[in-house]
Structure 1
Amino acid sequence: MTTEPIATGGTRLDLAFDITDLTVRFGKGAAAVTPLQKLSLEVPDGQFLCILGPSGQGKSTLLRCMAGLQEATSGSMRAAGREVTGPTANLGMVFQQDAIPQWLRVRDNISFGPRMRKVPAHEWKPRVEHFISAVGLSGRENAWPKELSGGMRKRVAIGAVFANDPDILLMDEPFGSLDYFTRATLHATLLKLWAETRKTIVFVTHDVDEALLLADRIVVVTDGKIGADIELPFARPRDDGLRMDPEADTIRRGLLEVLRAPARMQS
């Protein structure tokens, strides 16, 4: 029999996230809105988790809580065994909209995190150069963001978050505004970096096929709760052939059924 490592207080040490009865409520009385209600979720270290959900049903609120950007009304949220009370360098975030500083060139953007944390230059410089190359920006190190396409700016954001070396990466529909071919290229880049680093990744998306391609596990958040939780059986690497796989189609249909279920009024 195997046992999981336990910290003082009963926290599992092999969990990137341990979330129990998480509730978020905005407003009071009849006007109150509850995007999350008593949601519980465990995310193992190193897992690539995709969170799916209809608009307004709690998936982005959950991610903001995980990032320490949104305070919970009740319940507990632990990252790597520690209570989440605000943003930390251990939690890297990639947003849907461009969030890289426009006044910094590519290399300065990607090195921004470790420089702000006062990591010695001899440590961060090789790492930054590695991730500039890994995200396909070699030769564009001195470019300004305004000189880059949307896909290239997203590469900068991904390179920056990996270069800062957090244990956990949180990604809020990062490729939602990109065209199909750019998204496909960035999917491959992200999966390559994940395979190299084995960071925990929590990736919010509204695209079922994107989740099937990327994830080890898919969780559907609907009505502020977990509506489905599926471990994917598919080997890696995966490609567009997954669209024709009968088992993938069965899972896709099941996920779409959960996503299309009528939502109650949150109050």
Structure 2
Amino acid sequence: MTAFEIRGLTVQFGRGDDSVVPLRGLDLDVPNGQFLCVLGPSGQGKSTLLRCLAGLLQPTEGSITSHGVAVQGPSAARGMVFQQDAIPGWLRVRDNVALGPRSRRVPERDWRPQVEHFIDEVGLRGRERAWPRELSGGMRKRVAIAAVFANDPDILLMDEPFSSLDHLTRAGLHRTVLKLWRETGKTIVFVTHDVDEAITLADRVVVVAGGGVRADVPVTFERPRGEELRMDAEANALRSTLLKYLADPEDGWA
């Protein structure tokens, strides 16, 4: 069984002449353990796709199954990191990271070691009692990442989580997410509009535009991937290909 099997996915907002159809008949498979980046221009359906995968939005037509079970609503098996800060401001850092397992009534003896481990892994040791308002944007993203991993979902869905951050902060969080992905073996579906971010992170890049999949490209460069990829001819060729599909989404395949 795969992490996701998506068949004929169509989403329509509104009716008649005023309707908007960001996704139309989209098909996609996501293998277990893959780091998939969904790349696309703004307003072309990539975040809509992610919300459908999370069970936050019901499609107009088509089906989504996850590990053989129909996605019909949110599930603890699928964790989400949003573009905007979504950590409760009334909880300190440690309580934010522990919120998921505590809400699921996981015994403290089971969740506490995991919570402390991920606090360490994302670089929050020493800030456990800080309030979110006392943290930078990058540190709040670290809290969100620690929280979603501590809740131990099978699949992580990330909706442009680092788009508002500066280059150095974003690069540090890329390293953190990749380290945790290798450690846990989870499936990650990561939405971005940034070609370089996709090449840095992904096993595979899917371009979503014009309602469907316009390109589906493996990324085989060895990790870790750093600034040296900007000087690599093969990486530049891949970058040019992806940029072409972003600039002209109809020049692809569905």
TM-score of the alignment, normalized to the shorter chain, above 0.5: yes
Tell me what 2:39 maps to.
52
**Number of residue-to-residue matches in the alignment:** 251
Distance 1:214 1:95 in 2: 17
Equivalent residue letter for 2:5 = D
Distance 2:231 2:38 in 1: 22
After TM superposition, give the deviation of residue 236 of structure 1 in Å. 1.4
Deviations 1:202-237 (A, max 9, x none): 000000000000000000001110000001121112
Contact 2:214–2:249 (8 Å) recurs in 1: no
List alignment gaps of at least 5 residues for structure 2. Answer: none
Tell me what 2:185 maps to.
198
Deviations 1:85-126 (A, max 9, x none): 111100000000000000000000000000000001000000
1:62 counterpart (49, 53, 68): 49
Distance 1:124 1:262 in 2: 45
Distance 2:80 2:249 in 1: 31
Deviations 1:213-262 (A, max 9, x none): 00000000011100000011211121111111101110100000000016
Distance 1:190 1:182 in 2: 12
Equivalent residue letter for 1:175 = F
Residue 119 of structure 2 corresponds to residue 132 of structure 1: yes
> Alpha carbon RMSD of aligned pairs, Å?
1.0
After TM superposition, give the deviation of residue 79 of structure 1 in Å. 1.2
Equivalent residue letter for 1:61 = T
Q: Which runs of 4+ in 1 moved over 2 A?
A: none
After TM superposition, give the deviation of residue 194 of structure 1 in Å. 0.5
Distance 1:127 1:17 in 2: 26
2:197 counterpart (203, 210, 224): 210
After TM superposition, give the deviation of residue 263 of structure 1 in Å. 6.2
- Residue 111 of structure 1 aligns to a residue whose secondary structure is helix
List alignment gaps of at least 5 residues for structure 1. Answer: 1-12
2:232 counterpart (232, 240, 245): 245
Scaled by the length of structure 1, what TM-score is found? 0.93
| Change in 2 beyond 3 A, CA 1:262/1:49 | closer
1:158 counterpart (120, 126, 145): 145
After TM superposition, give the deviation of residue 28 of structure 1 in Å. 1.1
Tell me what 1:72 maps to.
59
Tell me what 2:109 maps to.
122
Q: Percent identity, aligned pairs only? A: 66
Scaled by the length of structure 2, what TM-score is found? 0.97
Contact 2:6–2:29 (8 Å) recurs in 1: yes
Equivalent residue letter for 1:144 = W
- Residue 224 of structure 2 aligns to a residue whose secondary structure is coil
Equivalent residue letter for 1:130 = H
Distance 2:140 2:198 in 1: 22
Distance 1:262 1:104 in 2: 43
Equivalent residue letter for 1:109 = N
2:16 counterpart (16, 22, 29): 29
Equivalent residue letter for 1:45 = N
Deviations 1:104-150 (A, max 9, x none): 00000000000000001000000000000000000000000001000
